[in-house]
Chain A
Amino acid sequence: AQSVTQPDIHITVSEGASLELRCNYSYGATPYLFWYVQSPGQGLQLLLKYFSGDTLVQGIKGFEAEFKRSQSSFNLRKPSVHWSDAAEYFCAVGARGGKLIFGQGTELSVKP
């Protein structure tokens, strides 16, 4: 069965520092992979997605993610974090019927 694991429940980084959020997936075929962000009290917004081709994908708000098939990973990165990036981040894998299977989420706090 498909599954997604986000090993880090909570991460704190200083403003201006780099960020990497980890995501590991389990899926039999070539996966469709997504990162979503959720600001407090809001719904989820798509940051970026991977379907095929170039394994480094660019998203909105300066985020990027790299698909590594050998490691079953799809880690999210940002070179320099802004205070407004504080939110909860969800990795997801696409399943049959258009469904998404989500990870547990990683809460990001940003120190001034």
Chain B
Amino acid sequence: NAGVTQTPKFQVLKTGQSMTLQCAQDMNHNSMYWYRQDPGMGLRLIYYSASEGTTDKGEVPNGYNVSRLNKREFSLRLESAAPSQTSVYFCASSQTGARPPTGELFFGEGSRLTVL
């Protein structure tokens, strides 16, 4: 049972390079999320997609773009990487709109990105 799968797990970039983090879930969830985790900051929401075809900004969207490719896949793109984007990135999914709500997010194992 794969759950939420993120690729790559590790990546080193130079300032100004671009890259895309891929995320796929096999739980048929309608909502997907990208968070970044930094020491002492907890997890901060970058973007989320409440359903296929929709995306919305979270707390820290600057410097990122997302694509909800289909119900399973939600990618995060850094167009011009900066050292401030060095972080661990987590993708998550959930089934929203259920009654009663479940509320639980299922997380991938994370992608560690270093920007030099």
Q: Interface of A with B (CB < 8 Å)?
A: 4, 6, 9, 32, 34, 41-46, 49, 51, 90, 94, 97-105
Contacts and interface: CB of A to CB of B under 8 A. Distances in A.
Given A32-B101, A90-B42, A98 B110 contact: no
Contact of B40 (A32, A99, A104): A104
B105 interface: yes
Interface of B: 4, 31, 33, 35, 40-45, 48, 50, 56, 58, 90, 92, 94, 96-97, 100-101, 103-105, 107-110
B105 A100 contact: yes
Contacts of A32: 101, 103
Contact of B58 (A45, A90, A99): A99
Contacts of B103: 32, 34, 49, 51, 94, 98, 100
